[in-house]
A and B are shown apart, each in its own frame.
Chain A
């Protein structure tokens, strides 16, 4: 046998496809797949939420103190004043919850609905609103979240999405990071939709309680970024709340639709007026 050396013409051991093309295809394929999975799982979460009664919720979350430790004590007249407002507004929105207001001594202007029927209100919020109607709108918005059980939906989605991402991509790996925006996007879009719904219901509560829509946009006007300073172009899609300007316009539109006039607002109860 004679040895005839030669090199192969083609290298058949490697593929000659474009790796970038493969990357793009796989990345968008998986993103699409995850979006569909998250959407379906979100529907399951919604179903599960219907089975959780307020009593069950209170039992589950009674051990979770949240930031209650930072809240001012019950004898605080401001907290009592807020509690009175919430109790009064309840007549206009049917909620099967015992609700407890916690005033938190933080300067952020924020309020949120916490599982177990607790409304956390940050001190900073009281500096931003100037009228009773304005404050009522924010409280009514949180009441609407309780009515719609958005706190449970949001939390359930958070848990499920995180678990699924970790399961599919391996917890804490590079891939988890790569697909984190997909989960954030799914959750943010849903959250924004629920916020719009809560805004609409809060407006109805204002209409029922005061008979007009005055003060509804007050808080958002105060939170609106100054001038043309545009926030992050893409950040908007991943944010849990719609932008202040959009919410204001939306409220104006809804008030028009509901035939709610804008009348003079009531001043804040003296006890809630910011001391500074």
Chain B
């Protein structure tokens, strides 16, 4: 019985704090995405409007490591019973992806374009049993600066 009470407390803490953090993060993501909307970012190999002369290019990257809260982890494990779409992890990965791209853009404020954008995901705690799972999403690409 005591175990269940501790369990309940952990789950509710995970739920409320996790939800709060997620809401806050999404708000920040949406504001920053709006702000960086004018920086064209593509996964194409070639620059858009290739008639302009390129001054220089840079390799830029941004990454985010994100972890699940207790509630989401338990929910995902419950889902493992019957299989199916693990919804509790979706927002997690979505946030990490968007945050990584935003950090990439923030790392090159003077760039005119970012091309060749790639995203990679790696699990930080893979194979280490009972640890809380966390993933890193790495965004990298080429920042292009045109001659003024």
Complex interface: stretch among A22-30, A66-74, A268-276? A22-30
Contacts of A29 in B (CB 8 A): 82
Q: Is the CB of A26 within 8 A of B33?
A: no
CB contacts between A and B, total, < 8 Å: 71
Contact partners of B91 in chain A: CB under 8 A: 14
Is the beta-carbon distance between B85 and A23 smaller than 8 angstroms?
no
B residues less than 8 Å from A17 (CB atoms): 87
Closest to A12 in B: B94
Interface bits B22-43 vs A (CB < 8 Å: 1, else 0)? 0000000000011001101000
Smallest Cβ-Cβ distance to B113: which chain A residue: A3
Given contact pairs A30-B81, A177-B4, A177-B7, A14 touches B34 in the complex (Cβ within 8 A): no
Give Cα distance in the complex from A29 to B37, angstroms.
Answer: 45
> How far is B81's CA from A22's CA once the two chains are assembled, in angstroms?
13
A38 to chain B, nearest CB (A): 15
Q: Which of A44-52, A168-176, A206-214, A222-230 contacts B (4 or more CB under 8 A)?
A: A168-176
Q: Contacts A7-B33, A173-B130, A177-B7 given: A15-B85 contact, CB under 8 Å?
A: yes
A5 interface hit (Cβ, 8 Å): yes
A181 within 8 A of partner (CB): yes
Contact call A19/B3, Cβ cutoff below 8 A: no
| Complex: A238 Cα to B1 Cα, angstroms | 9
Contact of B82 among A11, A23, A26 (CB under 8 A): A26
- Bound: A209/B72 CA distance, A: 62
A36 contacts the other chain (Cβ, under 8 Å)? no
* A1 CA to B90 CA, complexed, in Å: 33
Interface residue count for A (Cβ, 8 Å)?
A: 31
- Per-residue contact bits, chain B 64-80, to A (CB 8 Å; 1 contact, 0 not): 00000001111101110
The listed residue (B37, B38, B48, B81) touching A26 by CB distance below 8 A is B81
Top 3 closest A-B pairs, CB basis? A26-B78, A15-B87, A14-B90
Pairwise interchain contact B81-A15, C-beta atoms closer than 8 A: no
Is B145 among interface residues, defined by CB-CB distance under 8 A?
A: no
A108 → chain B closest CB, angstroms: 21
Does the CB pair B15–A14 fall under 8 Å?
Answer: no
Within 8 A of B (CB), among A160-184: 168, 173-175, 177-178, 180-181
**Which residues of A are at the interface with B, using a C-beta cutoff of 8 A?**
1, 3, 5-7, 11, 13-15, 17, 19-20, 22-23, 26-27, 29-30, 33, 168, 173-175, 177-178, 180-181, 232, 234-235, 238
Question: Can you spell out 26 A-B residue pairs with CB atoms less than 8 angstroms apart?
Answer: A1-B48, A3-B40, A3-B48, A3-B49, A5-B37, A5-B38, A5-B40, A7-B34, A13-B94, A14-B91, A15-B87, A19-B72, A19-B75, A22-B75, A22-B79, A23-B75, A26-B78, A26-B79, A26-B81, A26-B82, A30-B81, A174-B73, A174-B77, A177-B7, A178-B74, A238-B1
Q: A3-B48, A7-B37 are in contact. Are A23 and B90 (CB under 8 A)?
A: no
Decide if B88 is an interface residue (CB 8 Å cutoff): yes
| Binary per-residue interface labels of chain B (1-26) against chain A in the complex, 1 for a CB within 8 Å, 0 otherwise | 10110010000000100000000000
Contacts of A19 in B (CB 8 A): 15, 71-72, 75, 87-88
Complex Cα gap A1–B51 (Å): 12
CA–CA, A27 and B73, complex, Å: 13
Task: Please give the distance in Å from B76's CB to the nearest CB on chain A.
Answer: 10
A174, B7: Cβ atoms closer than 8 Å: yes
Tell me, in angstroms, the Cα distance from A22 to B72 when the chains sit together. 11
The answer to whether B77 touches A181, judged by C-beta atoms less than 8 angstroms apart, is: no
Residues on B with C-beta less than 8 A from A1 are: 48
Determine the distance from Cα of A173 to Cα of B78 in the docked complex, in whole angstroms: 12
